[in-house]
Structure formats: structure tokens, C-alpha cells
Amino acid sequence: MRAIAADFSVVDYFGDLAVEQDLRLLPQPVYRYSEEGKITDGAMFVFAHGTNPECGVLVEAYQDDAGARYRYAVAPMSIYQLQARYKNAPVWSVERRHTGRNARSYYAGVYTPEEGESLPE
């Protein structure tokens, strides 16, 4: 799960000047879970600026008729503009939200490995 999360990168555009800051993936997930017959493994990772969490990335590994797969969801924890990339390809972004508004923009995606590609543990 950590190897999958490490393929993500998140940039936060702070303040009125939208200063670009690369966020740091915390070394361990903040939450880990599984559900028999549904989710093989799940983990919530946090990208932070210093010690401040700015973005969450949820990664779930599961098995279905198509084989072993994983899916992810990205959630903002900041009012500032965020951009997430997976293996250097943009996968999610959210514009800056004004203080006091709900941060309800999220993104969920499913990744199916190429034939012969195995999922990282």
C-alpha cells in the first residue's frame, strides 16, 4: 500500500499569492483496514506541509472477477488549491475554496493493472 501511495504526489498552492509547495507523504498510513470478501487491504495516507495535513489519499486493494485491482480516492484538507498526480500524470485537482465553505470536492478512481503487471504490496 505504501508503494502505491508513494507513486502519488500532491502540490498545494498556499496563500493569496498561490505559492507552490510540494507536500510530504507521511511515512505511515493514519488508518488501515480490511473487510473480508470485499477489501483485501485499505489505507488512508496523508500529505502534509510540515506537520499540517493538507490532503488525504485513500488506497484500497480488492479482488473481483477481473482480478486483483486497487482504487483510490483523494480528499482535500486545505482551503487552498491542490493538485494530485499519480506516476507524474495529473489525476485530481481542486480550486481554492473560500473560508467558511464546505470542501466537498473529491475524486475517486480505479486502476486496473496492465496484463502481466503485479500490484505492489
The whole model's pTM is what? 0.78
Is pLDDT at 25 greater than 90 in this prediction? yes
- C-alpha atoms less than 13 angstroms from C-alpha of 100 in its C-beta half-sphere: 0
User: What pLDDT does 62 receive?
Assistant: 92
* 65 vs 119: which has the higher pLDDT: 65
Name the residue ranges covered by the structural domains of the chain.
2-111
**H or E element in which residue 26 lies:** none
Give the model confidence (pLDDT) of 45-66 as tens digits. Answer: 999 999 899 999 999 999 888 8
Share of the chain above pLDDT 90, in %: 60
Contact call for residues 80 and 14 (beta carbons, < 8 A):
yes
Of the candidates 80, 91, 75, the one whose C-alpha atom is nearest the C-alpha of residue 7 is 91
Give the model confidence (pLDDT) of 101-118 as tens digits. Answer: 455 555 455 566 677 766
CA angle 116, 119, 121 (to 5 degrees): 145
